[in-house]
């Protein structure tokens, strides 16, 4: 009888009815690259494989999810990057525990160079794609996000710089409530 109850509870957790709108919060870890260029051309900074951890909070349903992520910088690196994103994703395979997603984000990106006085702020916009595994109360994901710089400037000199792009490959684990 216990096994039958456990099986029934397990199937109920995976059913579409159990996947109602839920709030979730969790962590994201990943690696990202970015490229910053001077307004008149020429590459200023091109860095690869920078590690980060992120805090994530949002709302998820069967067909969509909306969330915010704050990428906390790797403090062992001389350059400091903060990236705050607000995202909205469409979830495919509604009701399934394994759901591919496709969406986009709007973000704010800040880069402080440890080697010079360069401090750049930029608004970012771009797509994201990945795969979400949802077994209540947990939500796991692996994804890729790329943000293209919409504006940029050096806060100290007022010179024009462009954040060409910043992209991240990440995995996340959250809990729904």
Task: Report the pLDDT value the prediction gives residue 41, as an integer from 0 to 100.
Answer: 62
Spatial CA neighbour of 109 closest among 80, 75, 81: 81
- pLDDT for residue 68: 96
Rounded Cα distance, 52 and 73, in Å: 5
User: How far is 109 from 120, CA to CA, in rounded Å?
Assistant: 8
Are 104 and 127 spatial neighbours (Cβ–Cβ below 8 Å)? yes
| 153 neighbors 119 (Cβ within 8 angstroms) | no
- Give Cα separations from 123 to 51, 56, 59, 61, 108 (angstroms): 21, 19, 23, 28, 5
pLDDT for the residue 153: 63
Assigned token pair, 45: 């900074």
Burial 24-33 (b: 16+ CB within 10 A, else e): bebebebebe
Instruction: Tell me the pLDDT of the chain (177 aa) as tens digits.
Output: 354 334 333 433 443 444 578 999 999 999 888 888 776 666 677 777 788 899 999 999 989 999 999 988 776 777 788 899 999 999 999 889 999 999 999 999 988 877 777 778 889 999 999 999 999 899 999 999 999 988 766 656 666 677 888 999 999 999 999
Q: Which pLDDT score is estimated for 4?
A: 33
In this prediction, residue 158 carries a pLDDT of 62
Domains of the chain, start order: 2-176 (2.40.160.20)
| pLDDT at position 79 | 76
Q: What span, in angstroms and rounded, lies between the C-alpha atoms of 56 and 85?
A: 10
Q: What pLDDT does residue 152 have?
A: 66
Burial class (CB within 10 angstroms; exposed 0-12, middle 13-18, buried 19+) of 161: buried
pLDDT at 39: 65
pLDDT of residue 155: 56
- Tell me if 171 sits within 8 A of 177, measured CB to CB: no
pLDDT of residue 54: 93
Q: Considering the entire predicted model, what is its pTM?
A: 0.80
Question: Considering only CA atoms, which of 28, 85, 95, 35 is closest in space to residue 61?
Answer: 95
Residue 134, pLDDT score? 93
């Amino acid at each position: 009888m216990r096994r039958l109850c456990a099986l029934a509870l397990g199937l109920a957790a995976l059913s579409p009815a159990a996947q109602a709108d839920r709030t979730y919060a969790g962590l994201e870890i990943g690696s990202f690259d970015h490229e910053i260029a001077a307004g008149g051309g020429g590459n200023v900074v091109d860095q690869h494989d920078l590690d980060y951890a992120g805090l994530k909070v949002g709302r998820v349903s069967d067909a969509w999810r909306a969330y915010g992520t704050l990428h906390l910088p790797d403090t062992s690196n001389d350059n400091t990057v903060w990236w705050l994103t607000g995202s909205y994703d469409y979830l495919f395979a509604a009701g399934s525990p394994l759901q591919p997603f496709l969406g986009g984000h709007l973000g704010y990106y800040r880069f402080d160079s440890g080697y010079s006085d360069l401090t750049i702020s930029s608004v970012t916009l771009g797509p994201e794609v990945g795969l979400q595994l949802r077994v209540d109360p947990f939500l796991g994901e692996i994804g890729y996000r790329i943000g293209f710089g919409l504006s940029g400037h050096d806060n100290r000199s007022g010179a024009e710089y462009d954040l060409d792009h910043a992209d991240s490959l990440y995995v996340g684990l959250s809990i729904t409530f």
